[in-house]
Chain A
Amino acid sequence: MSVVQETLWAVARGLPLTVGIWLASIATGLLAGVLVACARHFGGWAVNAILATLVEVVRGVPFVVQAFLLYYGGPFIGLDLTPIVAGWLALSVYAAAYFSEVFRAGFRAIPPGHTEAARLLGLRTNQTITRILLPEMALSVLPALANLAVILIKETAILSIITVPELTFTVQGVGSATFAFAQTMAALAISYWLLVELTAWAARRLERGIARATLGTA
């Protein structure tokens, strides 16, 4: 098998896991990020202070260190995770910290009167969040969320060092075995770049969809 063939085969093997972990982390990260932002916005100063500290810690430590700590340090506190689960969890926490800040900005950008009107009409806080605040901010937070999604795609490469058999791991394996480092790295670069372009395209489609749903315009 030629180097090119081997590289393409490695891309094909690694890509599904990269995309899978990435999408799973975005899903859990978004959910956790919304919950953190809600808790900080509505939960009073003590909750806000605790969560703010956690967000600062996650943002203040390089992702590669976090992934190492979770995978290799986890067993010391009874967290014996497989590489894939550890990778997904680490990336989710990392994503949640950044996503939560975007949603927090979204909450702050909505006039308090919109929440007060809902409150006086009898809507509960969770109804106000899901039916009014989140849809209202959807369009304005989308570019920032898409931006983070793009960054997260590239952070998945870090998971290769905790032996998650994702794109970088499989393609790098070919490079080590054949010494064709330049070719394999070029393949990696093109693969990630295509994923990022795909993400940007999807985000633009989503933006139009949300605009239609929330503004009644295309």
Chain B
Amino acid sequence: MTTPFLVAEKLERRVGDTQILAGIDLSVNKGEVVGLIGPSGSGKSSLLRAIAGLDPLTGGRVLVEGRTPVPGDGTVGMVFQQFNLWPHLTAGENVALALRLVRKMTRVEATERARAMLDRVGLLKLADRRPAQLSGGQQQRVAIARTLAMEPRLILFDEPTASLDPELTTEVLDVIRGLAETGMTMLVVSHEMGFVASVSTRAVFLDHGRVLVEGPAKAVFRDAEEPRLRRFLATYLQRVAWAPDPEPAPAPDPGPLTTFALLQQPGAAEAVPPPAGPEGSTMSLLGLPAASPAAPSGFSLLDPVPDPNQKDPKRGA
């Protein structure tokens, strides 16, 4: 058996009395997309920063293709929540700078490649704008283009849409989804559960610096047995369930695993009963008939979408 592409062994990071990473083991194969979920402060971002080599570890080690990555060696690319574009440079210059200084390309070569990368994220026309003249979603797509231009072996997404509104979120998620389809190995930290569920081959639930649940995305989201994960997902579902119907109607089939699918669950937009106790299933939370006792307690996030026309003739036409 070949060794995995990325291996994290017993990662530990402690700052003062705070245990930020408490012995995390993770291995990722080439081409896998791993979704990292968990409450704030659970260590998701710290894990990414440790893998990138940005934060020192107090224990354990990270290997990518057998070597410990050093920041700047071209192994790991990272996309940040705050974009971190350089404000004095245009979008094109943001992408081209490292090509010139690190790859030693000429100005012409670098500019050409930068434009090709911006084209890939749909921003060719805005190459001469400065970050302040771009929307948040456009800025994040420039940041993705800047990372892609250097052809990293692995890309880490650290809450890439957490500071964007839902529309801008969608445009950024579409780019990341497209990237996943090219076979890029990626780790994605996000609170967009529907996105994580649909784009990831594997999901990892972190809490207090530990891996609590790990497995194929479908299993983690649908068959969650672990009480902390169930509570976490239930809270998320409850919040989404309160959302009004999206207008206008979404595309007929956005895929079974998106947030839209969740919103299309019958009853999802109706009044939600108070949070269920630990025993209550998430199904009842959404006003759905409780899962049969024989079936594992279900999560609607991955259930097939009923034909919207059945329940609501206004939709899906």
- In the complex, which of the residues A111, A120, A121, A214 contacts B88, with contact meaning CB atoms closer than 8 Å? A214
- In the complex, which of the residues A123, A135, A213 contacts B98, with contact meaning CB atoms closer than 8 Å? A123
Contact across chains for B84 and A122 when beta carbons are under 8 A apart = no
User: A138 to B89, alpha carbons, bound, how many Å?
Assistant: 13
User: A117 to B150, alpha carbons, bound, how many Å?
Assistant: 12
Secondary structure call for the A interface: helix
Which A residue sits closest to B81, measured CB to CB? A113
Contact across chains for A117 and B84 when beta carbons are under 8 A apart = yes
* Given A113-B80, A116-B54, A215-B132, CB of A123 within 8 Å of CB of B86: no
Contact across chains for A131 and B101 when beta carbons are under 8 A apart = yes
- In the complex, which of the residues A122, A132, A213, A214 contacts B102, with contact meaning CB atoms closer than 8 Å? A122
User: A123 to B96, alpha carbons, bound, how many Å?
Assistant: 12
In the assembled complex, A166 has its CB within 8 A of some CB on chain B = no
In the assembled complex, A114 has its CB within 8 A of some CB on chain B = yes
Q: How far is the CB of A142 from chain B (nearest CB, A)?
A: 13
Contact across chains for A119 and B101 when beta carbons are under 8 A apart = no
Which A residue sits closest to B133, measured CB to CB? A216
Query: Interface residues of B, CB < 8 Å — how many?
Result: 28
Contact across chains for A122 and B88 when beta carbons are under 8 A apart = no
| B80 cross-chain contacts in A, Cβ below 8 A | 113, 116-117
User: A211 to B72, alpha carbons, bound, how many Å?
Assistant: 30
> What number of residue pairs across chains A and B have CB atoms under 8 A from each other?
74
Contact across chains for A123 and B102 when beta carbons are under 8 A apart = yes
* Given A214-B88, A215-B130, CB of A120 within 8 Å of CB of B71: yes
Q: How does the 8 Å CB contact mask read for B55-81 relative to A, with 1 for contact and 0 for none?
A: 000000000000000011110111010
- In the complex, which of the residues A113, A131, A136, A216 contacts B90, with contact meaning CB atoms closer than 8 Å? A216
Contact across chains for A132 and B82 when beta carbons are under 8 A apart = no
Which residues on A are within 8 Å of B, measured CB to CB? 111, 113-114, 116-124, 127, 131-132, 135-136, 138, 213-216
Which residues on B are within 8 Å of A, measured CB to CB? 52, 54, 71-74, 76-78, 80, 82, 84-88, 90, 97-98, 101-102, 130, 132-133, 143, 146-147, 150
3 nearest A-B residue pairs (beta carbon): A214-B88, A122-B102, A113-B84
Pairs A–B under 8 Å by Cβ, sample size 27: A111-B82, A113-B80, A116-B54, A116-B78, A116-B84, A117-B84, A118-B98, A119-B72, A120-B52, A120-B54, A120-B77, A120-B78, A121-B102, A121-B146, A121-B147, A122-B72, A122-B73, A123-B72, A123-B98, A123-B101, A132-B86, A135-B88, A136-B87, A215-B87, A215-B130, A215-B132, A216-B130
